[in-house]
Amino acid sequence: MQFVASGTVVRVIASEVGRHHRPTWFTEVGPAPRGRTRKGPWFPRQLPGVGSRSISGWPEGRSGPFRRPATPTGGAVGVVPTGTFAPVLLRTGFALLAGALLAQAFEPVGLALLLPIGVAGFVLSVRGLPARRAWIPGLAFGIGFQFVLLFWMRVVGYEPWVALAGIEAAFYAPLASATVVLLRHRGGPLWFAAAWVAMETIRSGWPFSGMPWGRLSYAVAGTAWQDALPYVGMAGLSFLLALLGALLAGVVTGPRRLRAGVAVAGVAAASVVPTLVPHELPTVGERTVAVVQGDVPGDGSDILLDHRQVTRNHVDATVDLADRVEEGGAPRPDFVVWPENSTAVDPFLASDVNAWINEASAAVQVPILVGAMVDAGTENVLNQGIVWEPDTGAADRYTKWHPVPFGEYIPWRDLGLGSIGQLRLIPRDMLGGTRTEPLPVGGTLVADAICFDVAYDDGIHAQLRNGGQLLTVQTSNAMFIHTAQIEQQFEISRLRALETGRHVLVAATNGVSGVIAPDGTVVARAGIRTQDVLVEDVTIADGLTPAVWAGSWPGRAAVALTVLGLVLGLLPYRRRQRSGGVGT
């Protein structure tokens, strides 16, 4: 039977599954053969077929760049049983659940094995759809993933949570459409993995200052996958995990399940090989460091409620450390690290706060890396790590590179967003810094990161390439003290230690503070909602891991490869359009 409309023929193919079984009907959409543009009978030959196996001997159906191809290439779905593709609505529901499942790979659940499973769910939800429709389940996947992952943002306000999670979820819509096109290529899973990394790279820097939370590589702490980080970095590990997920999807529904299964086993084995050959940098000495967690009064969630008491807590804890050093109860540190917001007012303008910091540095007689809010006019503020010397006071400073949109500054404030809900509590916008040189602190070159900076590659890598020997993370998570954000960020700090091959010192106002070894091991950790001082010996690293040496180039390469793959996917369609013309 043949139906012709606008030069397109819908062929109904009878396939016998068994000799005594009723025929199974398949559909294939393609152009009408030449000379067959009139209505009339045209009978295709009947060939046996099983499942979604392609049928040789048939003219390949033309398809636009946003249509499912009739003949499979690179593992894409081709001739399929009628009705095997669920309606878009069901796919959308499946994608929503797959996204929520992927979020469980991160803290507080932390089931890292869900990483490739969640990615496979994404591929299965869009595979076989026309690209012009694939964005719908793609967006649903992003909503399920980002709204669950970033649920802790609701403590700032439901409006910021919806705004931030909604923006991040939107990136999975174009990724879904791109996936449909890229899976048509030979080696489709490789192209898809590059596209996933490209998406993570773009959303880590745009819009505004970007938000890298939820990169696949940020959920592997404590697994065999983590040992690949010094070699391939965050982007490279995300690539391996996305590739594993795409191959896993091929095992479930692909026409070459055995081959896909072998590929899954191969990639899984390759991704954990670094466990057998861990990367270690040479060391050039040791330092004794002190990390101070002063705690926050009240329920611990509001620093501004009594910010001077927060500063006083850190001063008192440091003075107590100095007393223990004098009594021989603790070794004298080479320097001390205070957290972000250890003073929530400008220490250069608040005379009492200035005097307290001088008191602490004079007592311990070593530099203190102080976290302070410094005024930058009447409408802006700087979030800084200030080296405070015991005799001369403030010296070098690091300014936070990546303020958080809707948390530390309000995009489009001129449009009135600053008057909505909890956003009213952000009267001034925080400005980002650009320093690429490490801070000289107590004879050590320290690469500093303030709070969410630890999730971004650029600032950390720049300081390490310029000689940084140690990494500090000054953070104030008091607002999120009862949420999953605390552990999610601490896990990223552990992964930075592995990626950079350096000790990482995490100083938080009331949790989680810790000292992390280059292999990701937590050497010391302060409890949440406690006052504590961690004094530990750490090594000073020399040189760069391959991951830090490569810097941002793997992410850029992924973007370039994705663009190339999309262009190559569209070129055949453009040629057919010029030769005869087909619609999209």
Residue 359 token pair: 């008191």
Strand 380-389 with 2-5, pairing: unpaired
Virtual CA dihedral for 487, 489, 495, 501, nearest 10 degrees?
-120
Q: Give the bridge partners for 316, in sequence order.
A: none
* Catalytic residue selected from 28, 107, 400, 491: 400
Helix axes 485-500, 458-465, angle to 10 degrees: 30
* Catalytic residue selected from 168, 200, 408, 451: 451
Under a CB-based contact definition with an 8 Å cutoff, are residues 227 and 275 in contact?
A: yes
CA proximity to 229, closest of 467, 5, 548: 548
How many CB atoms within 10 Å of residue 258?
9
* Sheet with strand 504-508: strands edge to edge: 439-441, 444-450, 470-475, 504-508, 514-516, 522-525
Under a CB-based contact definition with an 8 Å cutoff, are residues 111 and 105 in contact?
A: yes
- What does the DSSP 8-state code read for residue 409? B
The values of phi and psi at residue 8, to 5°, are -110, 130
Q: Is 44 exposed, middle or buried (0-12, 13-18, 19+ CB in 10 A)?
A: middle
* Catalytic residue selected from 107, 168, 200, 340: 340
**Distance of alpha carbon 457 from alpha carbon 437, whole angstroms:** 15
- Grouping H, G, I as helix, E, B as strand and the rest as coil, residue 538 is strand
Does the active-site annotation cover 400? yes
Residue 315 token pair: 């001063």
The residues assigned a catalytic role are 340, 400, 451
